[in-house]
Amino acid sequence: MQSSQPSQACTDLISSLPSDKACQKHFQAHNFDIILVTSPKFGTTWLKAILFALLNHAKYSDPNSERCHPLQTRNPHDLVPYLEFQLYLQQEDPDHTTFASPRFLATHLPYSSLPQSTGDSNCKLVYLCRNPKDNFISLWHFTKKMMLKENGNQTPLPECLDKFCQGLSMYGPHWDHVLGYHKMSLEMPEKVLFMKYEEMKEDPCVHVRRLADFVGCPFSEEELRGGTLEGILRMCSFDNLSTLEVNKSGSRWTRVENKSFFRRGEVGDWVNYMSAEMGEKIDGVMEEKLHDSGLKF
Ligand code: A3P
């Protein structure tokens, strides 16, 4: 997505590469860990917020408590660290003992690059993916913002599209990322939950209940009657999160502004930036790559 001039973001990325190795070598998954997996711009921020709220809802459900919910004052990325960035980028073997149980972590790593211990333990993987056309446009906007901030030039959209269709993306081709986890979710449904951004948007109640059951904190009948599920969805909605002060003005450890994680949050926004022909180009590649899998976007 960038011009030929290496940017700060690119330099940061390169310097982060050994951290993948550190994380593979040292990360010990525990049986009760929950790891959210996405590729960039699949809707990570939203699902981090929802899962965080689900896993902690008992702690913050007392209406008489004055305790403010952490999502009101902190960005979801500061509450749920990435294995390969916040944890293993800064230290080779970070201290995990301060984490609450179950530990809730995130990663963008493809299935084939996950630390060995995730497969050896009974930890659970929640995978969220997104329609490749919206994913591409979301990536395009995010990169543009980063480039502007660093006074760099954004590569024209058609060129970026070519690269995307060749599979030149930060964590590998969109289809490989998705297929790797889709396959594992079919083979081990108790270990890998496969979710789609579009399905979450269409029927969030159904999918968040599914998610709650999967991570072992199902809603009780009383909670359902009392509107706990709707409360979580409201708190984690685009409209709520994007208007919180912390998400309007804060920035993260990477110097990325929190507001850059909230753009439109809509399904089908690609039509506003790509011609039908460009859309067909992505569709063509995806059909070819996914055709045996039964997976459709
Ligand atoms: P758009 O660029 O299409 O608006 P990630 O969190 O993986 O970086 O993905 C960012 C995408 O998720 C952006 O998509 C962003 O607007 C959207 N998003 C962020 N918070 C959201 C929320 N609470 N609900 C729905 N979508 C959200």
For ligand 1, whether the C-beta of 259 sits within 6 Å is: no
Structure tokens belonging to residue 126: 């929640």
| CA–centroid distance, residue 43 to ligand 1 (Å) | 5
pLDDT confidence of residue 101: 76
Q: What is the pTM of this model?
A: 0.91
For helices 174-187 and 276-290, what crossing angle results, to 10°? 40
Structure tokens belonging to residue 127: 């995978």
Domains of the chain: 12-135+173-263 (3.40.50.300)
pLDDT confidence of residue 250: 78
Structure tokens belonging to residue 155: 């590569």
| Nearest CA owner, ligand 1 atom 25 | 265
pLDDT confidence of residue 150: 74
Of 29, 38, 51, the C-alpha closest to 214 is 51
Q: How far apart are CA 129 and CA 39, in angstroms?
A: 7
pLDDT confidence of residue 149: 74
Yes or no: say if 142 and 12 are a contact pair by the CB < 8 Å rule.
no
pLDDT confidence of residue 27: 87
pLDDT confidence of residue 64: 67
Cα–Cα distances in angstroms (integers) from residue 99 to residues 53, 80, 169, 177, 259, in the given order: 16, 10, 31, 28, 26
Q: How far apart are CA 52 and CA 74, in angstroms?
A: 12
Q: What is the CA radius of gyration of the chain?
A: 19
Name the active-site residue from 26, 69, 96, 108: 108
pLDDT in tens, 102-132: 899 999 999 999 999 999 999 999 999 999 9
- Other C-beta atoms closer than 10 Å to the C-beta of 187 total 9
Q: How far apart are CA 283 and CA 290, in angstroms?
A: 10
Give the residues of the chain that fall short of pLDDT 70. Answer: 1-20, 63-66, 86-98, 252-254
For ligand 1, whether the C-beta of 264 sits within 6 Å is: yes
pLDDT in tens, 163-182: 999 999 999 999 999 999 99
Q: How far apart are CA 76 and CA 105, in angstroms?
A: 11
pLDDT confidence of residue 179: 98
Q: Which atom of ligand 1 is nearest to the CA of 134?
A: 3
Of 233, 214, 238, 291, the C-alpha closest to 53 is 233
Q: How far apart are CA 182 and CA 179, in angstroms?
A: 5
| Nearest CA owner, ligand 1 atom 27 | 265
Structure tokens belonging to residue 250: 């804060």
pLDDT confidence of residue 3: 43
Catalytic, 141? Answer no
For ligand 1, whether the C-beta of 219 sits within 6 Å is: no
For ligand 1, whether the C-beta of 228 sits within 6 Å is: no
Half-sphere exposure in the Cβ direction for 266 (13 Å, CA): 7
For ligand 1, whether the C-beta of 241 sits within 6 Å is: yes
What single letter denotes the amino acid at residue 196? K
pLDDT in tens, 196-225: 999 999 999 999 999 999 999 999 999 999
For helices 204-214 and 228-235, what crossing angle results, to 10°? 100
Q: Which atom of ligand 1 is nearest to the CA of 237?
A: 23
Q: Which atom of ligand 1 is nearest to the CA of 48?
A: 6
For ligand 1, whether the C-beta of 269 sits within 6 Å is: yes
